[in-house]
Amino acid sequence: MGQSAEFGKFLKAMRARMSPDDAGLPEASGARRVPGLRREEIARLADVSTDYYTRLEQGRHIHPSRAVLEAVSRALRLDSSEHTHMMDLLEHCASSAKAPTPTPRVRPALRQLLDAVGDVPALLLGRRSDVLGANRMAVLLFADFPSMPPAERNLTRWLILDPQARELFRDWKTVAAEAAGSLRADTGRHPDDPQANQLVGELAVNSEHFRQWWAGHRVAARSAGTVRLHHPAVGDVELNFENLALPQDPDQVLRVYSAKAGSPSDDALKLLGSFGAGTAFSAGTATTATSPELSARQASNEG
């Protein structure tokens, strides 16, 4: 699908989620035939003609001024992630050049950094949330990423399709929806990425939830947050995470999870780390240790 069409579909989806009350407009008499605001209402809020806004939604006008875009963004109540996504889509509307998809490379210093934060779970994520690296604690807490085929080492894929992820995350639907929104933002930045398009297709075929989220054009790009887990070996855990930008590797982020010092979640992480299992890996390297204690505890808790 052309980016001008994607740009228009995004505007339409953002318009559909709004109510007159959201925009400070009086309720019109009579039932609305479609959800959300009408095109003429958004046009009025953005101070452009209805014909002009209609052409934007239909992908027939792909060179609006920045002032118009800012006005449309305000009219649609876009947050910062959604605004950035809109600008990414428009940028690719105006360009016909296709950028090649680079092969991700993990610098040795990043491998060392993953090992250095060994007391807390850490993931190195690339485009599409591909898992480029994981320390031992991340493998113990989440999934055995090293044993997965390289093409399947993707955090969003695992979150949405793996039953283990549904059991692990106590707020699975929220977390998975945000992952889908992050993938949406990624496809806006890199619309010609064949691996992203393939991942979207796989998720759409195998997940009704994903199809609904994708149709809603939701965009998410959180740099920090909290996750609540129920781990089969150590029980309930609540962790904060931070996505650390890597200026030398702009397509990669280091995601580090931590618990409040002295909290039950902190104790649970320490207990998990004491089992001594897990396989740390990055860019094709892996070191493995086994843990009969962990397997026995998981079996006991599941029973």
Query: Are 149 and 62 part of one and the same domain?
Result: no
On whether residue 98 sits in a domain, the answer given is no
Q: Which of 67, 93, 119 is the last residue of a domain?
A: 93
What pLDDT is attached to residue 282? Answer: 64
Q: Give yes or no: residues 29 and 166 share one domain.
A: no
- Sign of the Cα torsion 21, 23, 25, 30 reads negative
Report the number of distinct structural domains present in the chain. Answer: 2
Closest to 143 (Cα-Cα) out of 160, 119, 159, 125 = 159
| Region of poorest pLDDT, from 33-42, 230-239, 288-297 | 288-297
Question: Could you tell me which residues come within 8 angstroms of residue 49 by beta carbon, excluding any fewer than 6 positions away?
Answer: 43
Taking residues 261-286, report their average pLDDT. 78
Give the tens place of pLDDT for each residue, 80-102. 989 999 998 888 776 555 666 67
| CATH code of 46's domain | 1.10.260.40
Which pTM does this prediction carry?
0.81
- pLDDT tens readout for residues 171-184: 999 999 999 999 99
Residue 88 covered by a domain: yes
Coil/strand/helix, residue 133: strand
Long-range contact pairs involving 283-287 (C-beta distance under 8 Å, separation at least 24): 283/104, 283/105, 283/106, 283/111, 283/132, 283/133, 285/111, 286/146
Q: Is residue 102 in a domain?
A: no
Average pLDDT of the segment spanning 115-125 = 92
- 3-state SS assignment for residue 111: helix
Query: Could you tell me which residue, 29 or 299, shows the higher pLDDT?
Result: 29
Measured in whole angstroms, the distance separating CA 65 from the mean position of its chain's CA atoms is 29
DSSP 3-state of 95? coil
13-64: pLDDT as tens digits:
999 999 888 888 876 656 677 778 999 999 999 999 999 999 998 877 668 8
The torsion angle over the Cα atoms of residues 13, 17, 20 and 24, rounded to 10 degrees, is -90
Contact between 284 and 276 under an 8 Å Cβ cutoff? The reply is no
pLDDT in tens, 190-212: 888 899 999 999 999 999 999 99
Show Cβ contacts of residue 185 under 8 Å, excluding neighbours closer than 6 positions.
81, 84, 85, 88, 219, 220, 221
